[in-house]
């Protein structure tokens, strides 16, 4: 029970939606956009798929790298990231501030079975693709990372520069 309370507190403190893993469920189904549920963050907000201004393909590999590892975006653009897993293990792409990514990575270390399905992330099984549609509403330097256990620590991190 203490672990559950600690998890609940950490989740509330970080503002992360969490669902526990239930086997090998499919989480790469396209997300339904609902403008009434869009919540602004320090690095933007869920984007409307009908207003995508640019599509960026991102490949993930078992060498714990993203290609490309750095992307540049204009403030206000709505980007569709098409994220492909070229590896043999589960990978994910999670967008966020440097601090939020580091905190989320620490939480994933403590609770490796935790699954989450927020608008700023895509979990992608080997050989599959997923999508994130995100509107970058603020300038700055942000990150994307794979937060599967050990992947972030192995350097599976990228950078988004919004001008």
Inside any domain, residue 7: no
pLDDT in the model for residue 115:
65
With a CB cutoff of 8 Å and minimum separation 6, the contacts of 149 are: 108, 109, 112
Pick the closest to residue 53 from 73, 70, 68, 34 (CA basis).
73
Sort 24 into a burial class: Cβ within 10 Å, 0-12 / 13-18 / 19+: exposed
Confidence at residue 50, expressed as pLDDT on a 0 to 100 scale = 96
> In sequence order, what are the residues at sequence separation of 6 or more whose Cβ sits closer than 8 angstroms to the Cβ of residue 113?
20, 21
User: Please, which contacts does 1-5 make with residues 24 or more away whose CB atoms are closer than 8 Å?
Assistant: none
Question: What is the overall mean pLDDT for the chain?
Answer: 83
Domain count of the fold of the chain: 1
Range of the domain at 83: 55-163
Confidence bin at 134 (pLDDT 50/70/90): very high
3-class state of residue 135 by DSSP: strand
Q: What is the pLDDT of residue 114?
A: 67
Q: Is residue 155 part of a domain?
A: yes
Q: Is residue 89 part of a domain?
A: yes
Residue 111 lies in a domain: yes
pLDDT tens digit string along 28-46?
456 788 888 899 999 999 9
What percentage of residues in the chain have a pLDDT greater than 70? 78
Domain CATH number, residue 141: 2.60.40.420
Residue 111's pLDDT band, with cuts at 50, 70 and 90, is confident
Identify whether 106 is part of a domain. yes
- Please tell me which residue, 10 or 83, carries the higher pLDDT value: 83
- Domain for residue 92, yes or no? yes
Please give the Cα distance from 4 to 79 (Å, whole number): 36
Separation CA 4–CA 2 (nearest Å): 5
In contact, 115 and 27? CB cutoff 8 Å: yes
Output DSSP code: residue 51. G
Evaluate whether residue 12 is within a structural domain: no
């Amino acid at each position: 029970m203490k672990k559950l309370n600690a998890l609940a507190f950490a989740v509330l403190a970080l503002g992360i939606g969490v669902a526990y893993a239930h086997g090998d469920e499919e989480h790469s189904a396209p997300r339904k956009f609902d403008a009434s549920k869009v919540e602004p963050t320090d690095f933007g907000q869920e984007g409307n798929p009908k207003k995508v201004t640019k599509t960026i393909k991102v490949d993930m590999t078992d060498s714990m790298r993203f290609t490309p590892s750095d992307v540049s975006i204009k403030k206000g653009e709505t980007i569709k990231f098409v994220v492909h897993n070229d590896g043999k293990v589960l990978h994910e792409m999670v967008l966020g501030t440097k601090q939020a990514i580091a905190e989320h990575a620490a939480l994933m270390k403590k609770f490796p079975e935790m699954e989450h399905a927020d608008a700023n992330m895509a979990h992608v099984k080997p050989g599959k693709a997923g999508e994130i549609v995100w509107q970058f509403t603020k300038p700055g330097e942000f990150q994307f990372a794979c937060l599967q256990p050990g992947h972030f620590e192995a350097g599976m991190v990228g950078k988004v520069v919004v001008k």
